[in-house]
Amino acid sequence: HHRPKRGWVWNQFFVLEEHMGPDPQYVGKLHSNSDKGDGSVKYILTGEGAGTIFIIDDTTGDIHSTKSLDREQKTHYVLHAQAIDRRTNKPLEPESEFIIKVQDINDNAPKFTDGPYIVTVPEMSEMGTSVLQVTATDADDPTYGNSARVVYSILQGQPYFSVD
């Protein structure tokens, strides 16, 4: 008894967040090795956002996103794919789960966790005296590019003040 070879062909899919184009955004293609291109295979998509956010061409297996997505609200969607024979309505492949990840764009500015800050510095303070410690955060994805990297600088007050 040998195990049937898995006939599904695809990788994990990615969709760019905040897509504002006039047409649905192409996400990827489901394809079964059983598909000979004669239209006999019907692709079915179920799961999070299937039929609303994500639509599939049931003949070609092409998946498109119909809405602008925000990674800061939802990072990924779990969906299920099925390939069935149109003539018999029988599955050609076992149902398979896959993930569509929402890819980050740099759409969030860093924010100071508190503020505004008001500080007084004693007259004749030593050079290098610490007068304030601030923290800023960024809601973008820290694992993708430099979108969430925070760089501190002083806009006014040089050469009297510096940032460590």
Over the stretch 46-66, which tens digit does the pLDDT of each residue have? 999 999 999 999 999 999 999
- Closest to 25 (Cα-Cα) out of 55, 58, 70: 55
Is pTM beyond 0.85? Reply is: no
The span from the CA of 28 to the CA of 79, in Å, is 13
Over the stretch 135-147, which tens digit does the pLDDT of each residue have? 888 887 777 777 7
Residue 41 or 11, more confident = 41
| pLDDT at residue number 140 | 76
Cα angle 61, 44, 68; round to 5: 70
Beta bridge partners of 80: 46, 97
Q: pLDDT class for 72, splitting at 50, 70, 90?
A: confident
The span from the CA of 103 to the CA of 14, in Å, is 6
**DSSP states of 69-135:** --TTT-SEEEEEEEEEETTT--BSS--EEEEEEEEP-S----EESS--------TTPPTT-------
- What domains are defined for the chain? 8-103 (2.60.40.60), 106-164 (2.60.40.60)
| pLDDT at residue number 11 | 59
- Looking at every residue in the chain, the average pLDDT score rounds to 86
For the cut 60, the answer to whether the pLDDT of residue 115 exceeds it is: yes
